[in-house]
Amino acid sequence: MLGQRWTTESTWVRICGGLLVVVLLWGTLGHVIDLLAEGVLVYDAAPAWLAGYWIALTALDPAAAALVILRRRTGLVLAAVVLVTDAAANGYAIHVLELGGAFDALGLTATTAVAAATIAILPWLWPRTETHNRDVN
């Protein structure tokens, strides 16, 4: 999943990085399916800013995944920002706007757990990434 750039790292580092990529691509898939099934009005029950954010995740999730694969620190930062803000946005939609149902609350729990796990592994992955590709072993 992570390719040549990660081969010098331990198995646990590759697993954590790989799982982060999988989570981001899973999120991408969910948003793409929503958009293909219902179009850009899929989130029309939400305020425009929130709907726009969820649509933007269709590009932000895979961008973060690609940057993580390339061992870029910007990928780790973008992944953390995307996952934390996605959990916050979903929590706002579910608990404040009262959108969604019981399964959405379960999804929120999973998203929040993944966001917390990402924050937890960030300090561990950080030194294994660089600001420029040419700096990576």
| Residue 68 domain-assigned (yes or no) | yes
**pLDDT, greater one: 45 or 130:** 45
Q: How many residues does the chain have?
A: 137
Q: Domain range spanning residue 122?
A: 10-135
The yes-or-no verdict on residue 70 having pLDDT over 60 is yes
Instruction: Give residue 134's pLDDT band: very low, low, confident or very high (50, 70, 90).
Output: low
Q: Which of 59, 67, 61 is nearest to 82 (CA)?
A: 61
| Residue 121 domain-assigned (yes or no) | yes
The number of domains in the chain is 1
Q: How many CB atoms lie within 10 A of CB 94?
A: 16
55: which residues sit within 8 A by CB, 6+ positions away? 31, 35, 40, 43
3-state helix, strand, coil in the chain (%, to 5): 80, 0, 15
| Residue 5 domain-assigned (yes or no) | no
| Residue 1 domain-assigned (yes or no) | no
**pLDDT, greater one: 131 or 134:** 131
Instruction: Give residue 131's pLDDT band: very low, low, confident or very high (50, 70, 90).
Output: low
SS3 label, residue 108: helix
The yes-or-no verdict on residue 1 having pLDDT over 80 is no
| Residue 4 domain-assigned (yes or no) | no
| Residue 93 domain-assigned (yes or no) | yes
Per-residue pLDDT tens for 79-100? 999 999 999 999 999 999 988 8
| Residue 2 domain-assigned (yes or no) | no
pTM of the model: 0.86
